[in-house]
Structure 1
Amino acid sequence: MSYEEILDSVIFKINDYQLTVYNLLAAIAVLVITRLALFIVRLALRRAARKADPHDTRHHSIYLLIKYFGWTLAIVLAINALGVSVSILLASSAALFVGLGFGLQTTFMDLISGIIILVENNIKINDVVEVDGLVAQVREIGLRTSKVETRDDITMIIPNRMFIDNKIINWSHSKRDTRFQIDLGVSYNSDPEKVREVLLACACDHTDILTKKGRMPFVRFTDYADSSINFSLFFFSKNAFRIEQTKSELRFEIFKNLKEAGIVIPFPQQDVYIKSMPEAKK
């Protein structure tokens, strides 16, 4: 049996359709070549990203778009290689697709939202985002869903439409250095300059707080309250995802150093002045 005869051998036949060895090998070849091409594209994008900016994750979004488009095209070509007309298949399944469209509206919304996220690139891998009061770090962006990790190290799978329909705070969108603040009040007997000195010393000694030019911690005298004079300590940090732990450690140090400096953190209190007392009945 010749090589051509082997390729033309019929594996199975249904009515007018027949599947030959050549058709099967052609379909497999299309899928294998697509996988190999996507692997090469991924390596090329990774190398380009490392040279340009290691923190830039746009290459991942570009790869996902190429990947989804590539596999869609590969599946269409593979079906054609098997001898099945895609146009006839789509025409005969039009009614089915209409029914699926109504039943899978939410899924299609997620798919479109995923494409929008990848194209606009407003949310990237490792970004710290806040969704409905939940702060999490983006670990993976898919076409329909995305994986995020909360501060409790819990992985959540979120539909992509939540990133489009809801108001999102992206703590990492513009810069990696994010500003935070800690508010506190001290007694009216305290020296404001001494308070500022203690707060700045605590902030500058913490390893997660930036002290470079333009990112130095600073203190504001914010208010004369009923029982205290209020201050706000502002500082910059790259550790936006774990900032609550940084704030906790900073509060411990502030409390300790204020106590050592003789500065009192008051509790709410009221003074009652009695002008006269009723006479006691005899």
Structure 2
Amino acid sequence: MPGWRLYQILIILGLIALAWLFKALTEPKLQNWARAREGWPKWRLRLLVQVRRRMLLVWFSLLAGLVYIVMQHVTWPSRSYLIGLAATLSTVWLSIGLAAQLVRNRSLRNILRWFLWIYATLYFLNALDEITAFLDRLAIEFGETRVSALSVISALVILGILLAGARLLTRMFTANVRKNRDISPSMQELTTKGVQLLLYGLAIYIGAQAIGFDLTGLAFLYGIIGVGLGFGLQKVVSNLVSGLIILLDKSIKPGDVISLGDTFGWIDSLSARYVSVVTREGLEYLIPNEDLIANQVVNWTHSNQLVRLDIYFGTAYDDDPHKVRALAIEAASGVKRVLVQPNTPVCHIVGFGDSSVDYILRFWIGDPTAGLTNVRGNVYLALWDIFKENNISIPFPQREVRTLNDPEADGPAHVITSDGATG
């Protein structure tokens, strides 16, 4: 039937069409303007992207609010009630959609956004009490516990809000702890993991209490879990306890260079169950915490970053050993990563071999995380160059073979080597 209710519906449909037209005209311009923003923080750019995606709601809220204000002054309030309700709902939906972006988890964000949309719609339609009573009647009772659909939905919303808040607080706390240079990396890991466990555990506990779930009735379940931990989860518990010990005694921390058996690399991260070790080849080993506690581990950077490396070489007996030692020290000192202070390179004679005088060259580096083989190779190359320049020879085994053939003898030829062996 014709009347103001029908007229308001037609006006709302017209406002939707007009908002769609304005969206089509302004969205490309807003996108080009956003791309030209340089130096803006990421949160502003994300907010601008979300506003661009909701341009239809933005324009409809503005147009509907403007028409509602005009009709309030021109006509009676009852003749603009539906338009005002549409303007209010669109504005609330827009606000909820933008505010939900604070939740980083996509699934949790979608659940929270849809729940708030439904709740706000029912609230402004004055249907919240009827729906609440209906959901409360949908209940299951076992013993003295009564769980209704309303309590489950409320608990899920509360749990989602608490988990989002726990996640936000954990990130803020972690960022502040990382900036504090007075706290060691191992204690930073221990503190952040403890706070994370506490906040998430508290959020789950409050969510369970919100639906009226009595956690004290789980004593029997706790006993079963304890037995399972004692028999089936020994390794898991051992790794967890070992990880806690590693964090407390600070024997291993992120950035340390370690050797465990044939594995050599640096600590990338510490977790509750394993330690991530990255090798020079780019391989990532996940070593259980228990192995680091029970086995012998070489930590090259435990107390400091200084590491001594040894190189063995030999020169001919005709070369002056005093000159060889001086040249070797000079060559090592000229390599970029080799330290000259406080520990200078040294070179010593370690023996007289069969064909060479044997030396050991010792030098120190302060950045083992940059690799050991490459700096050894650079020192060897420097030795080669400086020995070539100063006519220092590096001997290698040589053998002279002479063949003796007696033309009058019918027997086989004899082969005599330089060391006197015959064959």
Of 143-152 and 215-224, deviating more is 215-224
* 1:30 Cα deviation after fit: 2.9
Alignment match, 1:182: 311
Change (3 A) 1:216 1:77: farther
Aligned with residue 258 of structure 1, among 370, 387, 406: 387
Q: What letter is aligned with 1:216?
A: T
Bigger relative contact order, structure 1 or 2, given CA contacts below 8 A and separation 6+?
Answer: 1
Question: How far did 1:83 drift?
Answer: 2.4
Q: Do the aligned residues in 1 keep the contact of 2:229 with 2:237 (CA within 8 Å)?
A: no
Indicate how the Cα distance of structure 1 residues 26 and 7 shifts in structure 2: closer, same or farther if over 3 A, else same. farther
Counterpart Cα distance in 2 of 1:163 and 1:93: 30
Q: Give the structure with higher Rg (CA).
A: 2
Picking from 135, 139, 142, the partner of 1:13 is 139
Please report how far the alpha carbon of residue 22 of structure 1 lies from its aligned counterpart in structure 2 after TM superposition.
Answer: 4.0
Give the share of equivalent positions with the same residue, in percent.
26
Distance 1:227 1:66, change over 3 A: farther
TM-score (norm 1): 0.83
| Deviation readout 1:206-243 (Å, 9 max, x if unpaired) | 1111122x122222222233332222111111231311
Question: For 1:45 and 1:14, how far apart are their aligned partners in 2?
Answer: 46
Shift in CA distance, 79/120, structure 1 to aligned 2, threshold 3 Å? farther
Corresponding letter in the other structure for 1:260: E
- Kindly indicate whether residue 296 of structure 2 is the aligned counterpart of residue 170 of structure 1: no
For the Cα contact (< 8 Å) 2:313–2:360, is it kept in 1? yes
Q: Is the 8 A contact 1:11 1:18 kept in 2?
A: no
Paired letter, 2:318 = N
Higher helix share goes to which structure? 2
Moved over 6 A (4+): 1-8
- The alignment yields a C-alpha RMSD, in angstroms, of 2.9
Task: Give the aligned partner of residue 123 of structure 2.
Answer: none
Map Cα deviations across residues 7-48 of structure 1 (whole Å, 9 max, x no partner): 885396332331514433333333233222212211211222
The structure richer in strand per residue is 1
Q: Cα offset for 1:134?
A: 1.4
SS at match of 2:383: helix
**Deviations 1:149-196 (Å, cap 9, x if unpaired)?**
111111122211111111000001011121111111222222112111
Match of 1:103 among 232, 257, 282: 232
Identify unmatched segments of 5+ residues in structure 2.
1-125, 400-417
Partner of 1:88: 217
Q: Residues 169 and 68 (structure 1 numbering): CA distance in 2 closer, same or farther, change over 3 Å?
A: farther
- CA distance in 2 between counterparts of 1:40 and 1:11 reads 41
Check 1:37–1:272 CA distance in 2 against 1; reply closer, same or farther (3 A cut): same
Sort the Cα spacing of 1:217 and 1:78 in 2 relative to 1 into closer, same or farther, 3 A: farther
Alignment equivalent of 2:172, drawn from 22, 37, 40: 40
Instruction: Could you tell me which runs of 5 or more consecutive residues in structure 1 were left unpaired when the two chains were aligned.
Output: 275-282
Q: What amino acid sits opposite 2:136 in the alignment?
A: V
Match of 2:356 in 1: 228
Report the equivalent of 1:277.
none
